[in-house]
Amino acid sequence: MRHQLPHLVTPHSHEAMERVDSVLETSREGMRTLWLSLGVLGATAVIQAVIVAISGSVALLGDTIHNAADALTAVPLGVAFVLGRRVANRRYTYGYGRAEDLAGIAIVLTIAASSALAAYEAVDRLLHPRGISHLWAVAIAALVGFIGNEWVARYRIRTGRRIGSAALVADGLHARTDGFTSLAVLLGAGGAALGRRWADPVVGLLITAAILMVLRDAARGVYRRLMDSVDPDLVETAEQALHAVAGVEHVGSVRMRWVGHALRAETDIVVDPRLSVAQAHAIAVEAEHALIHAVPRLTAATVHTDPHAPADSADPHAALAHHTR
C-alpha cells in the first residue's frame, strides 16, 4: 500500500521518456550490484590465492579459479548494462538491450573454461600426488569463500529478478554453487588431515562436476532468452488484463519478448465493427495501458484491433485500427 497510494494520486503516463528513465534506473542498479560483487569476490579470490600458494591445495585452487572467474564476469555484464543505456536509433530500432544476451553467452563460456581448468588441475594432482600444508588455513579460506559467494549470489539473484536480467540471475546462480563448492574444500582438508592424499584432488573433481551442473542451468536460461522464451504465466496475465478492458470482445494472439531486462509485447484484439476508427483507437490505448500495468517489466506494447462482423450482417466498411506505442 505504501508504494501504491502515491501511484494512485500522482498523474502518470507511459511516454517514451518515462520508459527510458526506467531502463536507466535498472541499469544503474545492475551496475551497482556488479561493482559490489566484483569487490567482494575479488577480495575473496585474493585471500584464497594466498592460501593456495602456501598450502598447495588443488581443491582450494579450483575454488579460487571459480571465484576469480565469477568476479571477472562482471566485465561483460557491465559493458552490456552501459550499452543498454543507449537510446534506439535507425539502425538499432529496439535499442541495445540484446547486449545483455551476448554477455550471458560470455558468462557461460567463462564458467565452462574455469571448470575445464579446475578439472585439469585435479586430474594432474591425482596422477602426481603432493602433500598439503597449513590445513587450518585451507579450512578458513574455504569458509571465507562460502560466505563471500553466498552474499554475492543472494545480491545478484535478487537484483537480477527485480530488474528482469537473466544474465545477472545466471551469474548469481554461478556464485551460489561456488559457495557450496567452497564448503567441499573442507572435505578435502579433512581427508588430507587423516592422511588421505587423494581426498583433495577428488574434491576438486567434485567441484568441477557441480560447476558443470550450474553451466547447464545457466546455458538453458541464456538459450531461452535468445530464443525469445517468456514465462507462460506472463502471457496468461496479459490475456486476463486484455479481457478486462471495456470494448474488447475477443483476444487473439499475445506475443512477448525480452529486450535486455525489459519486456515488449504485441497482441491482437477484436472490437465491434460499428465503432469509428477513433473509438477503436481509444480501446487500443486502454488495452496497452492495462498491459503495461498488469505485466511486470513490460515497457512497450503494440495493440492491433480487428473488426468482428456480426452474424446477421457484414459491414464492408468495418473499422480497422492499429495503435503502436
Q: CA end-to-end span of the chain, whole Å?
A: 29
In a 3-state reduction of DSSP, which class is residue 308? Answer: coil
How far apart are alpha carbons 163 and 97 in whole angstroms? 13
Query: Which pairing describes strands 262-271 and 321-324: parallel, antiparallel, or unpaired?
Result: unpaired
Beta bridge partners of 255: 266
How far apart are alpha carbons 78 and 65 in whole angstroms? 21
Query: Which residues have C-beta within 8 Å of that of residue 247, sequence separation ≥ 6?
Result: 271, 272, 275, 279, 283, 286
Res 6: pLDDT? 37
Domain ranges in the chain are 14-226, 232-324
Res 270: pLDDT? 92
Q: Taking Cα atoms as reference points, which of 183, 286, 294 lies closest to residue 241?
A: 294
**Half-sphere exposure (Cβ direction) of 39: Cα atoms closer than 13 Å:** 6
Q: Taking Cα atoms as reference points, which of 180, 187, 200, 52 lies closest to residue 124?
A: 200
14-226: CATH class: mainly alpha
Report DSSP state, residue 259: E
C-alpha cell at 115: 571448470
Q: Taking Cα atoms as reference points, which of 149, 164, 148, 151 lies closest to residue 30?
A: 164
Q: Taking Cα atoms as reference points, which of 218, 252, 238, 213 lies closest to residue 290?
A: 238
Q: pTM for the complete prediction?
A: 0.63
User: Tens digit of pLDDT per residue, the chain (325 long)?
Assistant: 344 333 333 333 333 333 333 444 566 777 788 788 888 888 888 888 888 887 777 767 777 877 777 777 777 877 887 887 788 889 988 888 888 888 888 888 887 887 787 777 778 777 776 666 677 777 888 888 888 888 888 888 888 887 777 667 777 877 777 777 777 777 767 776 776 767 767 777 777 787 788 788 878 888 888 888 898 999 999 999 999 999 999 998 899 998 877 889 999 999 998 899 999 999 999 999 999 999 988 888 999 998 864 444 444 444 444 444 4
Contact 175, 152 (CB under 8 A): yes
Res 26: pLDDT? 61
Query: Which residues have C-beta within 8 Å of that of residue 118, sequence separation ≥ 6?
Result: 61, 62, 65, 66, 204, 207, 208, 211
232-324: CATH class: alpha beta
Q: Distances from the Cα of 55 to the Cαs of 138, 152, 183, 194, in angstroms?
A: 7, 26, 17, 16
